[in-house]
Structure 1
Amino acid sequence: MANPEKQNKWKAIIKVLIGLTLLSFILAGFFSLFIDTDFESLSGNVALIEIKGTIMSEKDGDFLFEDVTSSTEIRKLIKKADEDPSIKAIIFEINSPGGSAVASDEIANEIKKTNKTIVAWIREIGTSGAYWVASSADTVVANRMSITGSIGVIASYIQFSGFLSDHNVSYERLVSGQYKDIGSPFKELTPSERLLFQKSLDKMRDYFIEEVAKNRNLKKSDVEKIATGQFYLGSEAKELGLVDILGGRDEAVEVIEKKLGIEAGIVRYKQERGLFDVFGDVLSRQSFFAGKGIGNSFFTKAKLSNSVSIST
């Protein structure tokens, strides 16, 4: 018969070993975040600002562990670079599918205020609101296989009135104002509500087209023809006038060096990061190394409310 004391002793040892393993696993991740193999200079004359993930006005709990670019933070970085006399140019490294129309417009407007030379470098993807931002740059660089374009606006929400009806649940509508509960998931849109939404979306699309046409020196009528929401490869986008140069970071740097006659030294400007951002990166990185395939995003929280998601 096994000795209970010995069993408890071995259980305690196993628990300690598991705890130490997990601790070393997490600490290794933290250290790896601060050891950059790119070894970019802490000082330089060209600021590199990253536009990554969904573009929103602010980061919030609904995007925990997901890549989010805050327009508030990016505007601060642009102002910081613009006010630094040692910074001669700014490169925006874009890897984003877009996001909030307001947040995209805020970043684009801030770019236009700066006196620095601006280059947008679209890496994997720079569509919709992210392309709105890119179009505000002096020069747009993209890989021939980058995904860009997708000029348009989308609105959506979850509507489950049919589900409620099937389960004998009714929606008692008590409002003061015809459109007070427009977009409620508990009822279908009326024809007039749908028309109201569509008018707003069409107006936002028109703003988008006007900005791209103005930023890219294109005729509005030409931009309207390609503003179908379709995405384009970098090579196709260049033919359409949406991209200037096919290439990557080296080509973006080369544009600046030729235009300003300087030798570029890159300094990375980063968004402020909270504890959840760092912890999320650690878990994401370690999970990837462990072969879990989780990547950067652990979960998406679906919001069932009477709000409608509108994005570029």
Structure 2
Amino acid sequence: MGWLTEEVDRINRKRMRRGWIKYFFLGGITALILAAIIIAALLTVSEEFSVSVIRVEGTIVSGNVNGNGYAGSEYIGRELRAAADDPLVEGIVLRVNSPGGSPAAAQEIVRDIDYAKERKPVIVSMGEMATSAAYHISSHADVIYANPDTMTGSIGTIWTIFDYSKSLEDEGVSVDVLKSGEKKDITSPYRSLTDSEREYLQELVNQSSEIFITDVMEQRGVNRSIIEDARPIRGDYAKNIGLVDEMGNLFDAINAVSGYS
């Protein structure tokens, strides 16, 4: 009986070894198939989504908004950082079609562009317009594409203040204002600016403009005399003076990403 028991155990062990070999072999084949599928999927995704196109369309403002004529700095910044940190993204194209907007919002986006540039190429494709604050953010890209009739430039700061006091006076309407400081209602539309207030606001505009102009000069290496009058500039002339690098549309910019990565 001892001999029979030993023989049965030997046969069972042999069967178990064959079973493990079979399962190991089948498991290895399955793993290889799964790996091949995953690699193929990653290659497909990488090829299809290797360039992230982020749109800056409308007036640039602070906040998490996108659409209805506004491009929010928080939204744009989040998109830039996500693309910069995505290992499947080869490069970023900012499609800019904006008349500008808030200097502070542009400064926020600039920081996010600089963050992205440390990780992968950032190329700007200008649409029909990329002026003022929209040019400010564009100037921080690695390369700028524009069309010959893209309207760009307008490198400066503006502050528009309305004065309805004469109309209110004609209508017999008076406005009483209670304020804690002499200049608390300095931009009120119900009265005219005093000379000292106008001088003070002009100083603020000049300081903001100086930051803008200085930054563009550092980024683009252009002469101050070319841009300090804040005039709008056509795309082809912008290329001649160094504000734009290449003529081309969105797809030209996308195709160019691989050359800068």
200 and 66 in structure 1: CA distance in 2 versus 1, 3 angstrom threshold: same
Aligned position for 1:237: 238
**Matches for 1:1-312 after TM superposition, within 5 Å:** 43-58=48-63, 66-114=68-116, 115-218=119-222, 222-260=223-261
Aligned position for 2:30: none
Whole-Å Cα distance in 1 between the matches of residues 244 and 60 of structure 2? 21
> Which residue identity is paired with 1:110?
D
234 and 113 in structure 1: CA distance in 2 versus 1, 3 angstrom threshold: same
Contact 1:143/1:235 (CA < 8 Å) preserved in 2?
Answer: yes
Shift in Å, 1:175: 2.0
Shift in Å, 1:59: 6.0
Shift in Å, 1:43: 5.0
Contact 2:93/2:125 (CA < 8 Å) preserved in 1?
Answer: yes
Matched residue SS, 2:112: helix
Contact 1:212/1:223 (CA < 8 Å) preserved in 2?
Answer: no
Shift in Å, 1:181: 1.0
Structure 1, residues 101-159: CA drift from partner, whole Å, max 9, x if none? 11111111210112210100001111111111110100000011111111111111321
Matched residue SS, 1:78: helix
Shift in Å, 1:250: 3.0
Contact 2:91/2:258 (CA < 8 Å) preserved in 1?
Answer: no
List runs of 5+ in structure 1 lacking aligned partners. Answer: 1-39, 261-312
171 and 224 in structure 1: CA distance in 2 versus 1, 3 angstrom threshold: farther
Aligned position for 1:5: none
> Which residue identity is paired with 2:154?
S
Aligned position for 2:22: none
Matched residue SS, 1:235: helix
Give me the TM-score of the superposition, normalised by structure 2: 0.77
Bigger Cα Rg: 2
List runs of 5+ in structure 2 lacking aligned partners. Answer: 1-44
Shift in Å, 1:169: 2.3
Contact 1:59/1:68 (CA < 8 Å) preserved in 2?
Answer: no
Whole-Å Cα distance in 2 between the matches of residues 185 and 103 of structure 1? 25
Identity of aligned residues (%): 34
> Which residue identity is paired with 1:98?
G
Contact 2:156/2:230 (CA < 8 Å) preserved in 1?
Answer: yes
Whole-Å Cα distance in 2 between the matches of residues 66 and 102 of structure 1? 20
Whole-Å Cα distance in 2 between the matches of residues 179 and 224 of structure 1? 34
Root mean square deviation, CA, Å: 2.1
Whichever structure has more helix as a proportion of its residues is 2
> Which residue identity is paired with 1:83?
D
42 and 49 in structure 1: CA distance in 2 versus 1, 3 angstrom threshold: farther
Q: Which structure is higher in RCO with an 8 Å CA cutoff and minimum separation 6?
A: 1
Whole-Å Cα distance in 1 between the matches of residues 226 and 50 of structure 2? 39
Whole-Å Cα distance in 1 between the matches of residues 167 and 251 of structure 2? 54
Give me the TM-score of the superposition, normalised by structure 1: 0.65
Contact 1:107/1:133 (CA < 8 Å) preserved in 2?
Answer: yes
Contact 1:120/1:141 (CA < 8 Å) preserved in 2?
Answer: yes
69 and 42 in structure 1: CA distance in 2 versus 1, 3 angstrom threshold: farther
Whole-Å Cα distance in 2 between the matches of residues 227 and 185 of structure 1? 29
59 and 156 in structure 1: CA distance in 2 versus 1, 3 angstrom threshold: farther
59 and 250 in structure 1: CA distance in 2 versus 1, 3 angstrom threshold: closer
